[in-house]
Amino acid sequence: MSATTYLFIANAAVWLGVAGYLIFMASKSAGLERRVQQLELLGEDNDG
């Protein structure tokens, strides 16, 4: 492999890692949002 390929691999690995963690955080946010909505629905059911 050439030096450019190694440089490209290392660079890509960093961006993939950062992107992976951002996706993880986004999925956590979506999960929290879903749970809040479920709680709101439960609250409405109890009120009704």
Partner 1 sequence: MKIKVLAALAAIALLVQQYMIWFYVPVAQSGLVQKIFYMHLPCSWWSLVSFFVVFVASVIYLFNRKPVFDRVAGAAAELGVVFATLALVTGSTWARAEWGHWWLWDPKLTTALIMWYVYAGYLVLRSTPMGRDRKALVCAVLGIVAFLDVPLVFFAANLWGSAHPDGVARQGSGMEIRMWHTVFAGLTAFGFMWGAMLLVRVKQLAHQARLEALLVWDED
Using CB under 8 A as the criterion, which residues of the chain lie in contact with partner 1 when the complex forms?
1, 3-4, 6-7, 9-11, 13-14, 17-18, 21-22, 25, 28-29, 32, 35-36, 39, 42
Q: How far is the CB of 47 from partner 1 (least distance, A)?
A: 14
In this complex, which beta carbon is closest to partner 1, that of residue 4 or of residue 48?
A: 4
As a whole number of angstroms, the distance between CA 28 and CA 31 comes to 5
As a whole number of angstroms, the distance between CA 25 and CA 30 comes to 9
Q: How far is the CB of 48 from partner 1 (least distance, A)?
A: 16
